[in-house]
Amino acid sequence: MFRLITGRPGPSGFGSASTAEQVTNGIDGSNLTAIVTGGASGIGLETARVLAMRNVHVVIAARNMEAADEAKQRILKDNNAARVDIEKLDLSSIRSVKAFADNFKALNLPLNILINNAGIMFCPFQLSGDGIEMQFATNHLGHFYLTNLLLDKMKETAKASGIQGRIVNLSSVAHLCPYKEGIRFHKINNKRSYQDKLAYGQSKLANILHANELSRRLQEEEANINVNSVHPGLIMTNLMRHSALLMRILRAFTCFLWKNVPQGAATTCYVALHPRLKGVTGKYFHDCNEYKPSKLARDEALARNLWDFSNNLVNATLKT
């Protein structure tokens, strides 16, 4: 808590006050290609901008293509040498995820980095077009399926280039506050007992469990890809549109805990690009330093169950 409030650097040399530009200073990503989901606004846009600044070829995946194009033009205005593409992706739709993956593969680009950044937060109960609770569908299931669809491309890229691939799942400290059982496998779509904040915590717990289980599987295959999860910090962005008043009140009393957008994108960029993270996998990062997540987030059996549940849910959706 002391480091969070003061911005004092941790073992990595960076801390809560570090910005995305600072943690990537001197890194050349000219031989890298990255996908950033939700890269049209907030910390996703800042992540895309800084990766492009470091010469990474960035593909912004976004639901709103007008906003994505505005984001691209904003990046190019500051850096006319930036390599930025945009592709449509609605993570709440399994078929949209499949279409995005197909479109990306058609570009014949390598894929070194996948940043699963997009998400929604504290929304009222609603089902996705596929009939799945929206926070779980968008924050976890869409990214789970997207990652699986792009894994072979990442493995091919890592093998051909000799450069370790990196997958970054954006989680949250909210993973500490899911439903009591962690993941409510048999009540995912239960409207009657739905609680928006616990459902958000459940989806963020799922992001860590997904990263940990994927990391374990890739290590077994000896694939040259690392997978980690991050908490970006408390940042006032459009993610909080469903609880803006509550967040403003909370921020008034906890102003010392909040970050600006450049600081909020720092941990993502650090884990995605910094050479110090080579070979580091299955970990959880906060303020650019490794932290131990909750007991539920470290539950290997829960992670395996979530993997199987997610696979079954995707397959069932594709059959309808």
**String of DSSP letters for 155-214:** HHHHHHH-PPEEEEEE--GGGGSSBTTBS-TT-TT-STT--HHHHHHHHHHHHHHHHHHH
Please work out, in degrees rounded to the nearest 5, the angle formed at the alpha carbon of residue 272 by the alpha carbons of 268 and 275.
125
Annotated active-site residue in 145, 179, 194, 284: 194
| CA atoms of 126 and 87, how far apart (whole Å) | 25
Q: What is residue 270's predicted lDDT score, i.e. its pLDDT?
A: 98
State pTM to two decimals.
0.92
Q: What is residue 40's predicted lDDT score, i.e. its pLDDT?
A: 98
Active site residue 194: yes
pLDDT by residue for the chain (320 residues), tens only, comes to 445 555 678 999 999 999 999 999 999 999 999 999 999 999 999 999 999 999 999 999 999 999 999 999 999 999 999 999 999 999 999 999 999 999 999 999 999 999 999 999 999 999 999 999 999 999 999 999 999 999 999 999 999 999 999 999 999 999 999 999 999 999 999 999 999 999 999 999 999 999 999 999 999 999 999 999 999 998 754 554 445 555 455 444 444 456 999 999 999 999 999 999 999 999 999 999 999 999 999 999 999 999 999 999 999 999 98
Q: What is residue 8's predicted lDDT score, i.e. its pLDDT?
A: 79
Closest CA to 203 of 174, 245, 160, 244: 174
Q: What is residue 320's predicted lDDT score, i.e. its pLDDT?
A: 83
- Name the region of 164 (left: φ>0; alpha: ψ -120 to 50; beta: rest): beta
